[in-house]
Amino acid sequence: MSMPRDFTVNGVGLLGISIQHADLTIDPMQENSLEFTGLAFSIHAGLSLLEKPQGREALYRLGATVAREWRHSRRFVFGGDVNRMQEYVNEFLRALRADFPRVIVGNVGGPEVVAEARRMPGGGWDGNLSHFLPKKAGGIFFNQTRVAEMANASRLGGHKSSQERKMAARHRSYLFMFAVATLHELTHLFVAYLAQGSDKPRSYTPPNVSYLNYVGLIDPQTNRPMTGESGRWIEGYLFGGSIEFYRDVSDDNGQTGIPHVLDAQALARKIHPDCILELVTRLQDNQGFNRFPFTTTGSALTLATRRSRGLLSLGSTEAGSQQPGAFMRARRERPVPLYNVSINDLNRVPLEPGFILRPRLAAY
């Protein structure tokens, strides 16, 4: 397929972030906060990776594979035209950049779950593949504890003392974590887009579309996978393996963990620090981030070694993360202000610890 140029210059449009409280009520997140700032950058970075030629190619291959598996298994009828998949990829990414899906920060099921994508059936999108309405089709939940830890790292980061530099590096690691998590969850929403708003279990990723032994929904009667894992599939295709975080026993509890690529032989290799640094600081420069697959360093970790390290999973692969109709559950929700976030401000986030966005209010 021919590839459009790298569309990563316009910032994030109509971004609204909310906080879900313990009683399930939802309130808008303060826009001039470190939490909003870090998530806004990570959302931009994750989307930028998909907008690159390699990301578009990965979505194209995923879409064609999902549609083929739906057809072969007779699980679900794809309402589009596979020959127009490149057009669908472009429309999906265009719509995300202009009007990003709903974002909620809350409890997503444990520290190992960084983010979850959820569909929003009946939200107002009519399923027109030529006119995607992201906010009316679904959204992404982010782990509130991890978001707070990212903000704290930014608050304590700096360029003077060794401790400040450590926290600045930790902040960049969190930006990397949430960027890759955003890409992962947007991949689930891409399958939702291809399903044209359906929330039937058979409209989710087919079981054969996955990576290693990751699965989605499990049939409680047969204990067999009902759905696959498109997020892990695209990680394998684009990054060279699924992304996993392993606890650094020499660090404290606020850490991200050490990011690794889990290859097709289930061997884990540490992602090179330069790869992480370039992803969060060089998305937009003349060279641009172009380490596909991710660059790794050091020896591979076997399963036996990993078991002793405490795994932190990038994205949920539990059934709850793909629970049909699970997105809208709040008992009370205030109108969420929406902001246009400029690319110039976003570029400052990984370079200036403690920097806080002042985005322009665009709508409610």
What tens digit of pLDDT does each residue of 33-63 get?
999 999 999 999 999 999 999 999 999 999 9
Q: Which pLDDT value is given to residue 180?
A: 96
Order across the sheet with 338-341: list the strands. Answer: 12-15, 338-341, 360-363
Instruction: Identify whether 307 is part of a domain.
Output: no
Mean pLDDT of the chain: 89
Q: What's the distance, CA 67 to chain centroid?
A: 22
**Cα 45 to Cα 68: distance, rounded to the nearest angstrom:** 30
Region 270-292: mean pLDDT is 90
Instruction: Identify whether 303 is part of a domain.
Output: no
DSSP label at residue 122:
T
Q: Which pLDDT value is given to residue 286?
A: 58
Q: Which pLDDT value is given to residue 6?
A: 42
Q: Using DSSP, state whether 328 is helix, strand or coil.
A: coil
Q: At residue 265, does pLDDT exceed 50?
A: yes
β-bridge pairing 102-106 and 115-119: unpaired
Contact 59, 132 (CB under 8 A): no
Q: At residue 323, does pLDDT exceed 70?
A: no
Q: Which pLDDT value is given to residue 288?
A: 83
Winning range, highest mean pLDDT, from 270-274, 284-288, 332-336: 270-274
Order across the sheet with 296-301: list the strands. Answer: 296-301, 268-271, 258-262, 242-246, 311-313
Contact 13, 362 (CB under 8 A): yes
Q: Which pLDDT value is given to residue 251?
A: 84
**Predicted confidence (pLDDT) per residue in 17-40, tens digit:** 999 999 989 999 999 999 999 999
Region 244-273: mean pLDDT is 90
Instruction: Identify whether 26 is part of a domain.
Output: yes
Output 283 or 353, whichever has higher pLDDT: 353
Q: At residue 351, does pLDDT exceed 50?
A: yes
Instruction: Identify whether 46 is part of a domain.
Output: yes
Quote the pTM value.
0.92
Contact 243, 314 (CB under 8 A): yes
Contact 60, 85 (CB under 8 A): yes
Q: How many domains does the chain have?
A: 1
Instruction: Identify whether 103 is part of a domain.
Output: yes
Instruction: Identify whether 115 is part of a domain.
Output: yes
Give just the sign of the alpha carbon dihedral 286, 289, 293, 296: positive
Q: At residue 332, does pLDDT exceed 90?
A: no
**Predicted confidence (pLDDT) per residue in 89-130, tens digit:** 999 999 999 999 999 999 987 777 899 999 998 889 999 999
Region 167-190: mean pLDDT is 97
Instruction: Identify whether 143 is part of a domain.
Output: yes
Confidence of residue 333 (pLDDT cuts 50, 70, 90): low
Q: At residue 341, does pLDDT exceed 80?
A: yes
Contact 182, 115 (CB under 8 A): yes
Domain interval for residue 40: 13-240+323-363
Query: What are the two backbone dihedrals, phi and then psi, of residue 109, each rounded to the nearest 5 degrees?
Result: 110, 10
**Cα 350 to Cα 364: distance, rounded to the nearest angstrom:** 28
Output 2 or 288, whichever has higher pLDDT: 288
Instruction: Identify whether 131 is part of a domain.
Output: yes
| Helices of type H across 78-143 | 85-98
